Amino acid sequence: MRTEQEMLDLILRVANADERVRAVLLNGSRANANVPKDIYQDFDILYFVTDVASFTCDHSWIDVFGERLILQMPETMRYPDGGEDFPYLMLFADGNRIDLTLVPLTEEKIKQREGLTLTLLDKDGILPVYPPATDKNFWLKEPDALFYYSCCNNFWWCLNNVAKGIARDELSYTMYMLNDVVRGELHDMMDWYIGTRHGFNISVGKNGKFYKKFLPPEIYQKYAVTYSSWENIWAAVFAMCDLFHKLALDVAEKFNFVYRQDEEDGIRKYLETISLRRHPAP
């Protein structure tokens, strides 16, 4: 597997050899000093170019980056958004991945940079001095009382849909409601719980990928149990209820919020009734 330095050298070598490429930026996790380094991190690269169309008329120019296992070009797929930027998402045979986006060289595009940005090349001295790379845009946010209540209410409310899906033996609907809708509220509560213990000037990563780092081991273990096969779906549902209850009470105490125990009690009664009525088929 090519090393990080070998990959960066290749990315810059291609850019330096092509007059159409005027600047190169590194974004994403490799620009974030708070993210542990590993071999699975993507190389999120921006090439500022003078003419995007001259690249996209013949995609073979990307072959220089190495043998690919798979390529995705979102702008050519089912729902292209017609944007000016053109990304090439490349996974190589050695396991490296480059997400390389061609960006028109305009003043507006140069200014539209995110917080996690490092300049790798600037042939013409046209890039501003970007502030130090930071993940501040992804830091946790403290809840207000209304947002906290809305989170709790929607968590318990949407569990009635989960219960009906299980009773009807509707696997896809149930898993969507549990793992997309209800789990989203659980994640918000977990974020606030983490914030009360570590401060809100941190990021838990995309989709909470650093939860294991920030949660106490016993809490993380309870969280892991909320993922389940269809055969054990009720156990996962009740484990999620127990975890949410604990976290919500803790967050309420820290922020002096009111927790509606009556709403939890009502839905728990409903869940218990449905769970005893019918179990999903194996």
What are the respective helix, strand and coil percentages of the chain, to the nearest 5? 55, 15, 35
Residue ranges of the domains in the chain?
Answer: 4-137, 139-277
SS3 25: strand
Higher pLDDT, 216 or 31: 216
Instruction: Determine contact, residues 274/163, Cβ cutoff 8 Å.
Output: yes
Query: What local confidence, expressed as pLDDT, does residue 14 receive?
Result: 98
Confidence at 186, pLDDT banded by 50, 70, 90: very high
- pLDDT score of 281: 46
For residue 278, is pLDDT > 60?
Answer: no
The Cα–Cα gap between 270 and 263 comes to: 11
Which of 90-99, 108-117, 236-245 is the least confident region? Answer: 108-117
Average pLDDT over residues 183-201: 97
Tokens matching residue 96: 């490296």
Q: Please give the single-letter amino acid code of residue 22.
A: R
Average pLDDT over residues 99-125: 88
What is the dotted CATH code of the domain comprising 139-277? 1.20.120.330
- How many Å apart are CA 272 and CA 116, to the nearest integer? 47
pLDDT tens per residue across span 8-29: 999 999 999 999 999 999 998 8
Q: Which residues of 52-81 are buried (b: 16+ CB within 10 A; e: fewer)?
A: beebeeeeeebeebeeeeeeeebbeeeeee
Separation of alpha carbons 152 and 237, rounded Å:
15
Least Cα distance to 144 among 247, 255, 250, 254 occurs for 255
pLDDT band for position 280 (cuts 50, 70, 90): very low
| Angle, CA 67 vertex, CA 63 and CA 73 arms, to 5° | 60
- Using alpha carbons, list the distances in angstroms from residue 211 to 190, 223, 227: 8, 9, 14
Decide yes or no: CATH 3.30.460.10 for domain 4-137: yes
What is the per-residue pLDDT for 117?
A: 86
SS3 48: strand
